[in-house]
Chains A and B, each alone.
Chain A
């Protein structure tokens, strides 16, 4: 397991997501207004929508393409059988640290 520093937390606008490509994996990192940081695979399992562009709340993201919804904590989707991969991520003195 590697700790990867993705840079300043300010890269992600409050309440939005941002996509990082790390070792060929597209990872969407979200910064909810309610606090915390979450990271999930960027590509929606439905038809590859970019989740980083989705609308979020404290613990969900809604895919911009067809509105499928995913839990940021567990990766579980609201549609039967859909899940996204989740990654460990945290903020440390203003920097985004991702575990891969």
Chain B
């Protein structure tokens, strides 16, 4: 059977989505041809705001890259704009968008000529979206005036902003505020100009609008309401100011307009389809021509136009049901809009109406001006007719659900905002009904996520996202997804692989260690041979190497291919492929001699940057691989292990030697710890510190291990502290009197961590997982009777320590260890066999 030809006009969020829905239902029914006026595959327009504020890179927001089209045999005409549908001959006619033209401009193509492309069709879907609405302003279009709709707009705004001090954003709606917030990250002064009396008047009432204004102003954005722009003033081709209707002015260097959108209907119009404000569609998403459908922002359905993605997902499902014939009863009857808004730094949920309409409408309001909280509910006939949650959106998920489902409400209205005994707790996703929509960007319900977790075994945010797309839009639902994974993964979808030490060998850590010891496996390849039927797994090698090193110490049989590049060459690879060298500086204390040597080396090898690190040491950055062994030799200082999962630094304050507050000799103790435990391998890095008093200048409370001197000649030992991506104060493990006791307990804790932590689990997770009370029981009270063994094991590892720099600078382990890329000279060989 020959396939029917389906031509999709518009390659935006609606167009690509409807194709995905069709492929899900009937992958082989159509030969699909897509036209997109933008020169790209399909990207997530919602995230443009995050591109502008620097949270995402443009390449990260693509939903369907070009390869997706190929894999699904879709012909994509990117950069071509459809002019009309020739309904008599059943062909769609398109022309390339002219260079430099905006894809949404009416005359963005040249007149039809031989670059015209025609595609015959059996069915057509119009998904042309909308264009920015530009109010009548004199001077619009000059360099420095922008709209905010496409990836290219975004790039041009960013580029232009680099040379500006002040920007103005015309329009105080959602998009205008997102644009303003984004521009702020580019270091320019931003003013938002709103013609109406308050911000976001589609989603807020005047009080909410005023409160939002002060929140926005607190971010450093100036807001002018009741201000109508009439003219953009320019001199020498650069914008200088805006002129307003009341004759006041504002100095500015650029202007971004975000004053609403208008559906793009010209293709439908030129093809003689019925239009009003948008392209008219029935409940089957059909236009006035039976073979032509429409979806997305270009559609007018039951008198309603939509400007958010939520309704688009519903429309796409119905359209796919209809066009494939899979479910002829499927109908779209309109959407109730409830949205979480995502201007960085503002929490806002808005749904339905914002003001009372009837005399017996009930209004419930809660205000907490000091914290910027304003919540308002409009209740009609015991159903939620609308709501605003500003500043605190905890109740948002449940309320949006009640609003969409038209659930009857609890008698005590306070329960709506603050939870109640019979109501699902506000923050808990597990309590939401099955059909509740969790991801509002991609329209994914709780059931779909549950299925992904239980049926398809997804156990991480990323896996759930790959299966269902949930969480891959604006990201505001990620917390809920995590709750669902916790709820279902624990109960039903238990995935033992989560607990394997490395993915390629199905054993938990203790089982793996037991098997390694029982079979006497001393190299990574040996482990694969014996425990994985000889099948190597790249993702498991590095973890295994680290484990074997800590089990066997000097008996470990090293295979460099099993190590991460940093560990092959004992230096940290940089973004440009060079390396960094951080020599060990015990306790942060150095000497004139050492400094001179470091300086001499830096000069000799033209080191591009010498930096004092956050770990109280000196980093030589930008070093060529070939130079590493020579530099180590010239330095004559041991490795600081800044590149590996091992004991790194022991920071110190100046302590009793110099500080008037010092209670204990922190420098000496830090150096003792570092000398004893330096370079010891572990599941993740270990950073320590010693402080001479509880003022804690070396930040010992927030280290993997921290010791703090207290009155009475004692030392407190803290474990599991963190001050990186996670911040956590360490737990007090013990208070002891002597340096020897500190050394012993610190060693014991580290050995226990080495034996029981998962690969890449820092002590802050480990200490929390085991619990400080159990740790005390095991390590101090010796409940399991293993203290002596732990002390001996760590002693063994410490004794086996060899400075890798010294060893391998004398002779590389293998000839190519420090070699860079090899330039191959291709000789033009004379091939002449005659």
Contacts and interface: CB of A to CB of B under 8 A. Distances in A.
Contacts of B823: 21
Contacts of A54: 538, 565
Interface string A74-100: 000000110100000000000000000
Contact of B826 (A11, A15, A22, A60): A22
Interface string B527-553: 000000001111101100000000000
A74 to B, nearest CB: 13
Given A15-B559, A83-B67, A64 B824 contact: no
Contacts of A81: 62, 65-68
A56 interface: yes
A60 B538 contact: yes
Interface string A43-77: 00001001011111110111011000100000000
A15 B561 contact: yes
Interface in B568-586: 568, 573, 575, 577
Chain A interface: which size bin? 35 or more
Contacts of B525: 15, 33
B541 A55 contact: yes
A88 to B, nearest CB: 16
A50 B577 contact: yes
Contact of B822 (A11, A13, A47, A69): A11
B821 interface: yes
A42 interface: yes
Given A21-B822, A80-B68, A16 B561 contact: yes
Given A11-B816, A81-B67, A55 B564 contact: yes
Contact of B538 (A42, A52, A57, A83): A57
A20 B538 contact: no
Interface in B799-834: 814, 816, 819-824, 826
B489 interface: no
Contact of A69 (B535, B538, B568): B538
A21 B822 CA distance: 6
Contacts, number: 88
A65 B572 CA distance: 11
Contacts of B633: none
A8 to B, nearest CB: 11
Nearest to B466: A80
Given A33-B536, A34-B536, A69-B538, A26 B561 contact: no
Nearest to A14: B561
Nearest to B525: A33
Contacts of A47: 575
A81 B64 CA distance: 8
Interface residues of B, number: 33
A53 B822 contact: no
Given A20-B822, A23-B826, A13 B814 contact: yes
A41 B560 CA distance: 22
Contacts of B535: 57-58
Given A13-B816, A20-B821, A20-B824, A64 B564 contact: yes
B179 interface: no
A62 B502 CA distance: 15
A64 B541 CA distance: 13
Contacts of A13: 560-561, 814, 816
B65 A52 contact: no
A50 B560 CA distance: 17
B538 A55 contact: yes
Contacts of A65: 573, 575
Given A33-B536, A80-B65, A81-B62, A21 B564 contact: no
Contact of B536 (A4, A6, A19, A57): A57
Contacts of B539: 62, 69
B562 interface: yes
B538 A56 contact: yes
A19 B822 contact: yes
A32 B536 contact: yes
Among B562, B564, B814, B824, the most chain A Cβ lie within 10 Å of the Cβ of B824
B824 A57 contact: no
Nearest to A42: B821
A3 B541 CA distance: 34
A62 B538 contact: yes
A97 B819 CA distance: 20
Contacts of A34: 536
Given A11-B816, A23-B826, A52 B821 contact: yes
B68 to A, nearest CB: 7
A54 to B, nearest CB: 7
Interface string B84-105: 0000000000000000000000
Among A13, A42, A52, the most chain B Cβ lie within 10 Å of the Cβ of A13
Contacts of B816: 11-13, 16, 18
Contacts of B561: 13-16, 33, 55-56
A18 B565 CA distance: 12
B824 A6 contact: yes
Contacts of B814: 13
A55 B560 contact: no
A2 B106 CA distance: 51
A55 B542 contact: yes
B821 A4 contact: no
Nearest to B70: A81
A64 B826 contact: no
A26 B823 CA distance: 9
Contacts of A80: 65, 67-68
Contacts of A2: 826
A58 B536 contact: yes
B560 A64 contact: no
Please provide the 10 A-B residue pairs with the shortest distance between their CB atoms, ordered closest to farther.
A15-B561, A81-B65, A19-B821, A57-B536, A57-B538, A53-B565, A64-B565, A81-B67, A16-B561, A22-B824
Interface of A: 2, 4, 6, 11-16, 18-23, 26, 32-34, 42, 47, 50, 52-58, 60-62, 64-65, 69, 80-81, 83
18 contacts: A2-B826, A14-B561, A16-B560, A22-B824, A26-B821, A33-B525, A50-B577, A52-B821, A53-B573, A54-B565, A55-B538, A55-B563, A56-B538, A57-B536, A64-B565, A65-B573, A81-B66, A83-B67
Given A55-B541, A55-B561, A62-B538, 13 more contacts: A4-B826, A6-B824, A12-B816, A22-B826, A33-B525, A47-B575, A50-B577, A55-B538, A55-B562, A55-B564, A58-B536, A65-B573, A81-B62
